[in-house]
Structure formats: structure tokens, C-alpha cells
Structure 1
Amino acid sequence: MKHSRVWIAIGLLLLAGGLLYFNHQVLHIRPAEVKEWIVAFGWAAPAVYMLVYTVRPLILFPASLLSLAGGLAFGPLWGTVYTVIGATMGAVVAFGAARLLGERFVKNSDSGKWHAVQLQMERRGFIYIVILRFIPILPFDLVSYAAGVAKVRPYAFIMGTLIGIIPGTFAYNYLGSSLASGQLSTIVIAAALLLLVILLSLLLKKKVKLK
């Protein structure tokens, strides 16, 4: 049984690595290209964009690239709205998949950082999800999978994700929309805003302990 879990884990890692390589090295997709593909759907473009964001965790497509494309396609306001909805639905998909399948792979991990994160999620629920979404302690999708395995209530997970991702999402979408405008002043302001969000999250990260 243990050997089978090891081989399954190796297979999943190889699959993840292959998807990442395909996304970054083979497709060479840029935000502008994603934007052109999205807007080609016309009135259905927002729904298609949110659907793509929903399945994104399963194909390991870069979230930052998709957020920039959302800003390019829909502007800072609606780009943020659609991205927050899509990213939250994608997080729910990862959360549900981990709740159904993930426990068999991590149930024996009772020490170290994983156990600390799991305990904090179970004890603090909503507020800890908000913190993990805003501060880059762990990758976005890993937080969803970890919460699915931990005993986090779905409502707390959804609301924590929804609230926690708003600042970073707006920053990325504003940057994307500024690139579409082509105005140097707007681009500088958007880049400064994104940098501010990143610096603030890094400063807060030093004050947040996993244990």
C-alpha cells in the first residue's frame, strides 16, 4: 500500500511538471494573446473567462497571467470582479477535490509545516484563510488543497478566499488594464500599486508564524 502511494505521488509530480513545462515552454502564452482569445467570445467572454479560471487549478495555468489578461480584456473594475469570482470558484474546485481525494496522501503527515498549517486552519478557519490568501506564505492552490484536507468549513473557506484575494487581484487587473491603455503614467501607477501590495504582504509575512 505504501509503495502504491509513493508511485501515485511520483506520477502526480511528473504530471504537474509536464503541465508546467507545456504552459511555460511550449505554449509561450502571453496575457495579450489570452485576452484576444477571451474577447473573441463576445457577450459570453466574461462567462468563458470565469470558467477558465475555475478549471485553472486542475491544469496548473499561471494565475497571474490570467489575471493580467482579465485586466486587459475587461478593465480594472470588471476584470477584478470576474477574476475574484473565477478564482474563488477555482479554489472551491481544488478544495473539493482535496476533500474527496487528498486525505489518503497526507493523512500520515502529522509533523512539520504541513501539520502546523492544518492545525491553524482547523482552529482559526476563516481568518487564517484570509491571511494565507493575502500573504504569500504558501502557493494559492496549495492553500486550497490544504484547506480541503483540513477540517475547514466550506463557508469559511469560500468567504476567506473571496475577501483575501481582492487586493492582489485588483492590483494585477489594474496593471493589465494599464498596459491596454498604453499611457505611461497609468502603467507606472499600476506597477507601483502592485509593488505596494507585494511589499505589504511580505512585511506581514514576517509577522505571521505558521505554528
Structure 2
Amino acid sequence: MNYKRVIKWLLLAVAIALAIWLSRSVFDVEAEGLRSWILSFGLWAPIVYIIVYAIRPLIFFPASILSIAGGLAFGAWMGTLYTIIGATLGAMLSFVVAKTIGKSIVTKDWTGNAAKFQAQMERNGFLYVLLFRLIPVINFDLISYMAAIAKVRFPSFALATLIGIIPGTFAYNFLGSSFVSGNPKVIAAAVVVFIILTAVPIVIRNRWSRQNGSIPDGPE
């Protein structure tokens, strides 16, 4: 018997059960209030949501909570669209702020491993940002700050962010929309999709590391 596989299935079952319990005991109360607040703006609700998401990095509000709120208010598909727009704008704002402030903070030249990492980021900015966005092991906003200070070109950063956040964004919005339905089957499906879309990038990263050497996590 493959005990690791059994453990994985048990963990999946626990995650599904926990999600169903949360949807009935916690989100059943809070989801309606949160969704009502967003939708209270009527036709302006999507614009308000996008603006809030865009300035989110400046107020240090968790991106995951807002993403789930998008699914609660607008459903999986439109919530994903609005979240991608807001998250990309927020990342661009963080990049510009870090670029501006970084010039006065980082006054010395990079040295050692940090210099090598900076050179790689600057030379292959699109690939690195895309990988970091797809692999959920680094803080979302930290990637923006790190890319700006490492002198990644703005167009490469913006495009890589736009593409890289699509899988995770859909996972969070689908999860949020499933809580509104209250249907255990829908919630279970959403949890499975969420786990797959967040776990696959990690598996890819591990295989890449074994075959090509580790992907640098940041300057040391």
C-alpha cells in the first residue's frame, strides 16, 4: 500500500470537509454581508472592486481574501476577470512605488549572490516574474518590489504578472463563488480545483529544480 498516496487523499477529504463546514458556519454569515457591500455600488461595483484591489498593496490587505470576495460577489468567471485587472494594476503600482523609493534606499552596488540574482532577474525578467507568479511560495507584493529593485523592465513585469496570476486567481474566485451556492458538490469541486491549481506549480518547480538546479528564491 502506498501510504503517501493514502495520506494525500485523506488530506484532500479533510480540506473538502473543512471547506463545507466553513461555508455553512462562517461564510454563511459573512459572505452575504461582504457580497452585499460590494454589490451595493450597483453598476459601479466592478469598478470599485478593481480600484480597491489596485490600492490593496498600499493598505496591506490580504490578496487572497479580496480574491475570494470577487468570487462571492461576481461569480467565478467575472470575478476572475475583475480580480486579474485589479491585481495587475496593483502589482504595477507596487512596482512603480518600489522603483521610486528603491533608488534612494539601494544606494550601493549589488555584491556576491545578490549581484548574480539581480543580473539574472534583469536579463530574464519576464521568465522569472512569470515563474514566481505561478509558483505560490513567495508573497505576491514582495515579487513586485523585488522585480522593481532588480531592474526588471516594466513591460516584461506587467505582462508576466498578467499571465502568471490567471490560474491562482481563478482558483480563489471559484472557491469564493462555491461558498455562495452552499452546494457540497460544488464546494468539493472548487476545493479540488483550488488544490490542483495551487499544487501543480509547486510540483513543476520541484521537478525543474531536480533537473536544472534550484530556482533562486531571492538574493542572499
TM-score between both structures, scaled by the size of structure 2: 0.76
Asked if 1:209 is matched to 2:219, the reply is no
1:169 matched residue in structure 2: 169
Q: Pairwise CA RMSD of aligned residues? A: 2.0
Q: Give the secondary-structure state (helix, strand or coil) at the position aligned to 1:210.
A: coil
Equivalences for 1:79-90 in 2 at 5 Å? Answer: 79-90=79-90
Residue 110 of structure 1 and its aligned partner are, at CA, apart by 2.8
Residue 46 of structure 1 and its aligned partner are, at CA, apart by 0.1
The answer to which of 131-140 and 81-90 deviates more is 131-140
Asked if 1:35 is matched to 2:35, the reply is yes
Structure 1 residue identity aligned to 2:93:
V
Consecutive aligned runs of 4 or more in structure 1 exceeding 6 Å deviation: none
Q: Give the secondary-structure state (helix, strand or coil) at the position aligned to 2:199.
A: helix
Residue 120 of structure 1 and its aligned partner are, at CA, apart by 2.6
Aligned-partner Cα distance in 2 for 1:156–1:83: 20
Gaps of 5+ in 2: 1-29
Aligned-partner Cα distance in 2 for 1:187–1:42: 27
2:124 matched residue in structure 1: 124
Aligned-partner Cα distance in 2 for 1:137–1:111: 25
Residue 189 of structure 1 and its aligned partner are, at CA, apart by 0.5
Structure 1 residue identity aligned to 2:189:
I
Structure 1's 180 and 76: CA in aligned 2 closer, same or farther, altered over 3 A?
Answer: same
Residues 137 and 205, structure 1, Cα contact 8 Å, conserved in 2: no
Residue 117 of structure 1 and its aligned partner are, at CA, apart by 4.3
1:198 matched residue in structure 2: 198
1:152 matched residue in structure 2: 152
Residues 71 and 79, structure 2, Cα contact 8 Å, conserved in 1: yes
Name which structure has the greater RCO, CA cutoff 8 Å, separation 6+. Answer: 2
Deviations 1:115-146 (A, max 9, x none): 55433321111121111101024211011011
Aligned-partner Cα distance in 1 for 2:137–2:201: 9
Residue 96 of structure 1 and its aligned partner are, at CA, apart by 0.2
Aligned-partner Cα distance in 2 for 1:184–1:109: 55
Residue 109 of structure 1 and its aligned partner are, at CA, apart by 7.2
Aligned-partner Cα distance in 1 for 2:117–2:181: 41
Residues 98 and 148, structure 1, Cα contact 8 Å, conserved in 2: yes
Q: Identity over the aligned pairs, expressed in percent?
A: 47
Structure 2 residue identity aligned to 1:209:
I
Structure 2 residue identity aligned to 1:44:
W
Aligned-partner Cα distance in 1 for 2:172–2:86: 14
Matched length = 182
1:183 matched residue in structure 2: 183
Structure 1's 109 and 201: CA in aligned 2 closer, same or farther, altered over 3 A?
Answer: farther
Aligned-partner Cα distance in 2 for 1:66–1:44: 17
TM-score between both structures, scaled by the size of structure 1: 0.79
1:72 matched residue in structure 2: 72
The answer to which of 190-199 and 106-115 deviates more is 106-115
Q: Give the secondary-structure state (helix, strand or coil) at the position aligned to 1:98.
A: helix
Residues 56 and 63, structure 2, Cα contact 8 Å, conserved in 1: yes
